[in-house]
Amino acid sequence: MSFYATQSRRGACMLLGMASLCVALTSPASADLLHKYTFNDGTANDSVGTAHGTIVDNTGISTFTGGALDLRANNTGSNQDFTQPTTVGAYVDLPNGVFTDAVTDFSGTGAFGAVTIEAWFTVETHRDWARLFDFGTSDAGENSSAGAGASEYVFFAPRRGGTGAGPAQTAGSTHNASGDVFNDAGFTVTTNVQHHVVYTLDQNDFTAGFDGTATLYIDNGTPIVAGIAGGLFLDSIPDVNNWLGRAQWPDALYDGLINEVSIYNGALTAGQVATNFSAGPVPVPLPVLRVNRDTGAVSLVNPSGSSFNVTGYSITSAAGALDTAGWTSIDAGAFDPDGTWTASPAPSATEISESVTGGATDGGAIAGGGSASIGSAWLQTPLSSDLQFTFDLAGGTSGAGLIEYVGGEPIRSDLNGDGNVNAADWALFVPNNGSAFGADLPVAAYLKGDLDGDLDNDYDDFTLFKADFIAANGAPAFAALVGVPEPASLALAALAALGLATVRRRR
């Protein structure tokens, strides 16, 4: 479709103001893949086209983890002079025009006036307005993040800041001098879990407004639909700042992993989004550490289609999240029939490491799509997502591996990790009331009832437990729980009774 046909159809809708006509004029969405950045080869090269990106990182704080670009060391802002060799921070600079070229490319099944940005990402720490991607320009132009109130750009933020337009939440936006038009998710994506985002912008689709339709998909969920900013023409955005991890404004740099980014010359359909979500990112032939938060089970996983041999691995946790009682050697079964594996140093709450030390030293194979278990080596607590994972493969490949957490997030007062807050957790909480745990690691202290992370079990922790128990079971159940206390819980029960009495008086 030509540029003039696109503008004529937009004009027809604006003049007639008829929603039914606008829908009738809408073209079916379709798209071809133009650019893909997998980071699997340790670069930001385009594996489909030639629009290679540049990793801007003057002080070497970025790395590659499990085939993902690792920007977890970012803790500074976007508005810095990255021409200076001492500037600390990292992001990816994609070529000028990579966005508008996709908008105007109608080859194959593409459509002029439409584009899709797709990404797989994992946030480590949410920072308001930190961009996963931002395409456009700032008011000061190329290489500046001084602000963009009068400029045109398109972005996606894992958590935008709260404004008069709504609270902090995951969002995409189209922007021009009139301001932002958000696709607000209504929630904030969880940290330390990989997510899939697809943002389609289609100025041939007038479902959401005369200027086109923006549709945001998070983890193949319900499409989040909004209009495109009024008067914004996607094909004429001066996209000289096409960034992954950096904003047009002096906002924080992105803190997390970017596993893959793709750009299409049209709007993906909901069916195509679902297919891509099921397929996942392009796998890298490197081990991934998978942690099941529902069971504590840990395994080394091969997400690729080809086999590799593991000769060693190491898992560490500063908080003490490793369960040596539940851990089993990777070679407990038939993983490496002709090799001998040794754990060194001795397994502890902060480190489990083992490697092949005898016999044939080529390690054990993990087939494509397969896995190797090391037992229930993870303690199911809210503090246990600080794991670090490294690996060694036959042939000399080694490095930091990606960690994939699956299952539900641990519940704060679920001290026994069974997925519920109940009397069994109270029985673990009560005996330690009034105790300090200065010599314990954070996870060990938590398991004794330190719910607020200050290395003791005191009244503050009690109020947190009480709130969680009542939320799960109701106030009468909590009153019954503390009604006939064990001797060790008399003082705590008195506090509970006082709290309940206070609630009754206020009524």
- CA dist 229 and 234 (Å) reads 10
| Sign of the torsion angle spanned by Cα atoms 323, 324, 326, 327 | positive
The alpha carbon of residue 230 and the mean position of all alpha carbons in its chain are separated, in whole angstroms, by 31
Would you call 351 helix, strand, or coil by DSSP?
A: strand
Burial class of 17 by CB neighbour count within 10 A (0 to 12, 13 to 18, 19+): exposed
* pLDDT reading at 465 higher than 50: yes
pLDDT for 325-353, tens place per residue?
999 999 998 899 999 999 999 999 999 99
Average the pLDDT over 13-25 and give the result. Answer: 43
**What pLDDT was estimated at residue 7?**
47
Please tell me the least confidently modeled range out of 166-170, 303-307, 481-485: 481-485
**What pLDDT was estimated at residue 40?**
82
- CA dist 501 and 507 (Å) reads 10
- CA dist 280 and 427 (Å) reads 43
- CA dist 160 and 154 (Å) reads 13
Q: Which residue has the higher pLDDT, 13 or 374?
A: 374
DSSP one-letter string for 269-298:
PHHHHHHHHHH-SPP-SS-EEEEETTT--E
The tokens describing 27, both together, are: 């073209």
Q: Which residues have C-beta within 8 Å of that of residue 402, sequence separation ≥ 6?
A: 65, 66, 67, 68, 257, 259, 286, 288, 289, 389
**What pLDDT was estimated at residue 28?**
54
**What pLDDT was estimated at residue 396?**
79
- CA dist 235 and 227 (Å) reads 16
CB 413 within 8 A of CB 424: no
Burial 235-253 (b: 16+ CB within 10 A, else e): bebebbbbbbbbbbbebbb
Alpha carbon distances (Å) from 334 to 111, 286, 366, 422: 54, 21, 11, 40
Please tell me the least confidently modeled range out of 29-43, 64-78, 91-105, 319-333: 29-43
CA contacts within 13 A on the Cβ side of 485: 18
User: Which of these, 349, 417, 8, 70, lies nearest to 210 by C-alpha position?
Assistant: 8
| pLDDT band, residue 163 (cuts 50/70/90) | confident
User: Which of these, 406, 378, 405, lies nearest to 296 by C-alpha position?
Assistant: 378
487 cis-preceded (ω within 30 degrees of 0): no
Q: Which residue has the higher pLDDT, 399 or 496?
A: 399
**What pLDDT was estimated at residue 342?**
97
Q: Which residue has the higher pLDDT, 497 or 86?
A: 86
**What pLDDT was estimated at residue 496?**
53
* pLDDT reading at 42 higher than 90: no
Burial 176-214 (b: 16+ CB within 10 A, else e): beeebbbbbbeebbbbbbbbbbbbbbbbbbbebbbbbbb
| pLDDT band, residue 305 (cuts 50/70/90) | confident
* pLDDT reading at 286 higher than 70: yes
CA dihedral 157, 159, 163, 167 (to 10 degrees): 140
CA contacts within 13 A on the Cβ side of 65: 21
**What pLDDT was estimated at residue 41?**
76
**What pLDDT was estimated at residue 284?**
75
**What pLDDT was estimated at residue 65?**
83
CB 296 within 8 A of CB 378: yes
- CA dist 238 and 96 (Å) reads 9
Q: Which residue has the higher pLDDT, 500 or 262?
A: 262
Would you call 471 helix, strand, or coil by DSSP?
A: helix
**What pLDDT was estimated at residue 402?**
86
- CA dist 303 and 450 (Å) reads 37
* pLDDT reading at 11 higher than 60: no
pLDDT above 70 as % of the chain: 90
Would you call 392 helix, strand, or coil by DSSP?
A: strand
**What pLDDT was estimated at residue 385?**
86
pLDDT for 426-448, tens place per residue?
999 999 999 999 999 999 999 99
**What pLDDT was estimated at residue 485?**
52
Q: What share of the chain is helix, strand, coil (3-state, %, to 5)?
A: 20, 30, 50
- CA dist 244 and 255 (Å) reads 11
Domains and CATH numbers, the chain: 3-279 (2.60.120.200), 288-406 (2.60.40), 423-506 (no CATH)
- CA dist 256 and 125 (Å) reads 7
CB 433 within 8 A of CB 489: yes
What is the chain's mean pLDDT, rounded? Answer: 90
The tokens describing 216, both together, are: 């945001």
**Region of residue 461 (phi > 0: left; psi between -120 and 50: alpha; otherwise: beta):** alpha
Q: Which residue has the higher pLDDT, 229 or 26?
A: 229
Q: Which residue has the higher pLDDT, 368 or 151?
A: 151
Strand order in the sheet with 241-244: 54-56, 91-94, 241-244, 133-136, 153-160, 169-176, 179-184
CB 320 within 8 A of CB 303: no
CA dihedral 236, 240, 245, 250 (to 10 degrees): -100
Report the 10 Å Cβ neighbour count for 112.
Answer: 20
